[in-house]
Amino acid sequence: MEDQKDKPYIGITGITCTDDVRMIKKALGSSYGMYGVLVSRNTLKNGKPHRNRYPNIGSINKLFEAMPENALRAVHYNSEEIHEISKDVKEIMMLTGGLCNCIQMNIEYPPIDQVKTIKEENKDLKIIFQIGRYSLINMKTRDIVKNIEPYVPYIDYILIDKSQGAGIQMEIIGTVELAEPLSKLKSLTFAGGLDGSNICIFIPLIEKFCASIDAEGKLMNSNDTLDHEKVVKYIRSAKSIRKLYGKRK
């Protein structure tokens, strides 16, 4: 079931202001980036963020306007109203002026019809499908693979993320075991406690699967917003993996 793979990206999640975007853009240079903005249904409908790493919904258009064209301009979306996801994505697309070109589903196995509708209504939209803490703790690899197979025609990346923004460092052995079969389905992304100090530990794993990486929790400061110094160090470390993230022609 080998599919055409999407190219690996360096992801930074938790963008709340245009200063964040400018800093990330400068640090990434020519490397392919994923600019992640957190949105929940609560912020989408009520406007006010419940955590500092979520921007005010009225400001996200300016965030997306500041992002470069040759990047994944992503909303990381979570909601308990799982049968309203496609409607919410339509609203997100309107709020970003159509500049959002990537949705990360931070929802445990959303209804397949919702994911299908999103992809059919937005042909060029990349979808990152998260395998989160619940699955990674409670399910066997073969069951996870079986559960995700129906989504494969409608998604572009599979994210393995036990941390889910909490800054908990991923485990190499468990990640390899799951990544082996999933890598045959879609491009992979690894997340979990990554920052500039520990990416070197995971270079063999990242290169083995030609995987994207994403960081959030360990890039935050005491105000729960992005620490620019930490972000720059993380991006520098990621770009040292020249096989994947080095300078592109």
Collapsing DSSP states into helix, strand and coil, what is residue 198? coil
Please give the pLDDT value at position 3.
Answer: 47
The predicted pLDDT at position 163 comes to 64
What's the token pair of residue 100?
């959002």
For 61-71, letters b (16+ CB in 10 Å) and e give eebbebbeeeb
Strands (E), the chain: 10-13, 33-40, 72-78, 102-105, 126-131, 157-161, 187-191, 212-215
∠ Cα 141 146 150 (to 5°): 140
Query: For residue 53, is pLDDT > 90?
Result: yes
Question: Average pLDDT, stretch 89-115?
Answer: 96
Residue 194, token pair as written in the block = 């990554």
Domain ranges of the chain: 10-245
Instruction: Please state, rounded to an integer, the average pLDDT across all residues of the chain.
Output: 91
56 three-state secondary structure: coil
Q: How many whole angstroms separate alpha carbon 213 and alpha carbon 9?
A: 7
Among the four given CATH numbers 2.40.40.20, 3.90.1170.10, 3.20.20.70, 3.40.50.620, the one describing domain 10-245:
3.20.20.70
Q: Could you tell me if 132 and 106 are in contact, meaning their C-beta atoms sit under 8 angstroms apart?
A: yes
| Average pLDDT of the residues in 176-186 | 94
pLDDT band for 249, please (50, 70, 90 cuts): very low
Q: Residue 131 corresponds to which tokens in the numbers above?
A: 């395998």
Q: Please give the pLDDT value at position 102.
A: 98
